[in-house]
Amino acid sequence: MTLWKNKHTEFPTQEQLENLRLYKYAAEDKSYVTKYILRPYWDWAITLFPTWIAPNLITLIGLFFMLINVVFILIWVPDLGTEGPSWIYFSFAAGLWLYSTFDNVDGRQARRTGTSSPLGELFDHGCDALNCVYVVLLQSASLGLGHTGQVGILLVVTVVGFYLSTVEEYYTGVLYLGYVNGPTEGIIMSCLAFIVSGVYGAGAWQVELLDSTWFKWAGALLPQGTTFANMFVWGMVFFFIVTHCPMCLYAIHKACVEKNISSFRTFNTVLYPIISYSLVIYFWLSSPYSSLLQDQHVILFSLYFNVLFGLIASSIILAHLTKSEFPLFTGLLTMPWLMVVLVNSPAIFGTRVLSARSEYILLAFFFIISTIYYLFWVSTVIRAFCQFLGIRCLVIRRTKQSDSRILTSHQDESDSASLLDSQEEGITAAAHSLPSSESSVPKHHQSYNTFAQSS
C-alpha cells in the first residue's frame, strides 16, 4: 500500500479511505462499576440531549469543560502550588466528570440518531488524547505539586499509558478495559481527589505521611518527608508499571504471535516513538541548565508536548481505522531533541547557547507552530472522512442524502444497535465486514472514554 507520508504524520489517501469499508470494532469492558452503576447513569444522561445535537459536538463540548478548567489554572493557580479558591477544585471534579459523561453519551447519541461512523471513533480518540495532559494539569494543581519534576512524571505515566492502550487496540483490534481501569475507576478516584482539595485545601496533600496517625506504623518504610501528594504520584507510577504496562505489552505480543509476525520487530517499531518522547521530557526538565522549573513554564511545556502526543495518538488511530501500516514519527520529535541539545550545551559543547529567555521564546514558538500544524492536520483528515462518508462532523443532516455510501437500510441500523447493546453488556463485540461496493460504510462509533491513565 502506498501512503502519502511526511516526516511527521500521515494524511489519508483515497486508497486508505477505501479501507474504511473493512473497519471492524470490538470492545470489552470488565468493570463492575461500569456495568452496575455508570451504564444506568449514562442511559439516563442520554435522555437529556436533544436528537439534533451531533455526537461529535457532544464530545467536543465535553473537552471544553476540561479546557475551561485549564484556563482557571492559568488565572488562579498558575504556579500549580499555591492554595486556590475552594470552588476551583470542585470545578475540576465537575469538569472531569462531565467530560467522562459526554464521552460516553456521544456513542449512544450516534446510535440514537443513526449517525455512527468511523469518524466518531477518530474524533473521540483524538479528544481523549488531548485530555490526557489536561487531567495532569488539574491533578498537579489540586495536589499542589508546583512546577516540579513530579508534573513531568505524571505527564509521562499518563501519556505512555494511553499510548500503549492505543497501540494494543491497533494490533488486537479490541478496546479492552479491565476490572479496574483508568477510564472508569481512575476518573472516580481523581474526582474524589479534587473534592478533597476543595474541602480541605490543596495543602492537605502536602502533609507528611508520618505526621498522620494512619501511617505511623510505616515509619521504617517511608522516606522522610514523603507527603500524600508524593504517595498519589508514585501510586500512579506503581499501578502503571505493575498492571497496565505488562497487560498491554502481553496483549500486543499475543496478537503478534497469532498473526505470525515478529514481536521483537513490532516492539522495536511501536516503543521507539514513546521512549523517545519520554526521554526528551526527562532530559529537558531534569537539565540543570534549563529554566523551565525555576521560571515556572511547566504548563506551557506540558501543553506543547500535549500537541505532539495528540498528533502521535491520532495518527495511530487513523492507521487503525484505515488498515494502514503503523505510522512513523521520524521527524515529529526533532525539534524537542534539538532543544535538549541546546539547553544542555554547557555539558555538551562547554558553552551556553540558550539564555533562560531564549529557551522560553523557543518553547512558545514551537508550541504555536505545532498547534497550527495539528489543527491543519486534524481539519484535513476530518474533511477527507466527511467527503468520503458523505457526512458532516459537527452537524446532523436532517434530510436523506443521495450519496449511496450512507447507510439507509433498517437492517443495518438494527445490526448497529445490536452491536452496541452487546458492547454495553461488557462483552466483546465486532461489526460485520462491510462489502467492497460503495453501498455502505462502517457504522460503528466507539465511545472510548479515556481518562489520563491513572494506571
Q: Express each pLDDT in 245-296 by its tens digit.
A: 999 999 999 999 999 999 999 999 999 999 999 999 999 999 999 999 999 9
Structural domain contains residue 440: no
| Alpha carbon distances (Å) from 249 to 97, 110, 185 | 29, 32, 21
Amino acid sitting at position 211: D
Q: Provide the CB-side half-sphere exposure for 165 (13 A, CA).
A: 30
What pLDDT score does 314 carry?
Answer: 95
Higher pLDDT, 109 or 22: 109
C-alpha cell read off for 397:
443532516
Q: In this structure, which amino acid lies at residue 252?
A: I
- When mean pLDDT is compared over 3-17, 51-65, 388-402, the highest value belongs to 51-65
Give pLDDT, residue 181. Answer: 84
Q: Is residue 27 helix, strand or coil? A: strand
CB 115 within 8 A of CB 177: no
Q: What is the pLDDT of residues 252-263, one digit of tens each?
A: 999 999 999 999
Mean pLDDT over 38-57 rounds to 97
- Amino acid at residue number 181: N
Q: Is residue 188 part of a domain?
A: yes
- What pLDDT digit, counting tens, does each position of 185-216 carry? 999 999 999 999 999 999 999 999 888 777 77
Share the mean pLDDT of the chain: 86
The pTM of the full predicted model, rounded to 2 decimals, is 0.86
The whole-number pLDDT of residue 61 equals 98
pLDDT at residue number 445: 38
Task: Assess if residue 431 is contained within a domain.
Answer: no
- Residue 9 inside a domain? The answer is no
Reply yes or no on whether the pLDDT at 403 is more than 50.
Answer: no
Count CB-CB contacts under 10 A for residue 399: 5
Q: Strand 10-11 to strand 4-5: parallel, antiparallel, or no bridges (unpaired)?
A: antiparallel
| 200 Cβ contact partners less than 8 Å away, ≥ 6 residues apart | none
What pLDDT is recorded for position 449? 37
Residue 261 lies in a domain: yes
Give the total residue count for the chain: 455
* Band (372; pLDDT cuts 50, 70, 90): very high
| Domain total in the chain | 1
Confidence of residue 328 (pLDDT cuts 50, 70, 90): confident
pLDDT band at 219; cut points 50, 70, 90: low
**Could you write out the DSSP letters of every residue in 174-243?**
-EEE-SS-IIIIIHHHHHHHHHHHHHH-GGGGGSBGGGSGGGGGGTTTSPTT-BHHHHHHHHHHHHIIII
pLDDT band at 9 (very low <50, low <70, confident <90, very high): low
Structural domain contains residue 204: yes
Residue 45, pLDDT score: 98
Is 446 a domain residue? no
Buried b (16+ CB within 10 A) or exposed e, 320-334: bbbebebbbbeebbe
Gyration radius of the chain over CA positions:
22
The model's confidence at residue 425, banded by pLDDT at 50, 70 and 90, is very low
Residue 435 has pLDDT above 90, yes or no: no
Does residue 177 sit in helix, strand or coil?
A: strand
Per-residue pLDDT tens over the stretch 120-144: 999 999 999 999 999 999 999 999 9
Between CA 262 and CA 52 the distance in angstroms is: 48
Q: Decide which of 346 and 443 is more confident.
A: 346
One-letter amino acid of 214:
W
Q: Are 267 and 252 in contact (CB under 8 A)?
A: yes
Q: Is the pLDDT of residue 85 over 50?
A: yes
In a domain, residue 34? The reply is yes
Q: Is the pLDDT of residue 179 over 90?
A: no
Output the pLDDT for position 411. Answer: 36
The answer on pLDDT for 50 being more than 90 is yes
User: What is the structure's pLDDT at 192?
Assistant: 97
Domain range for 241: 21-424
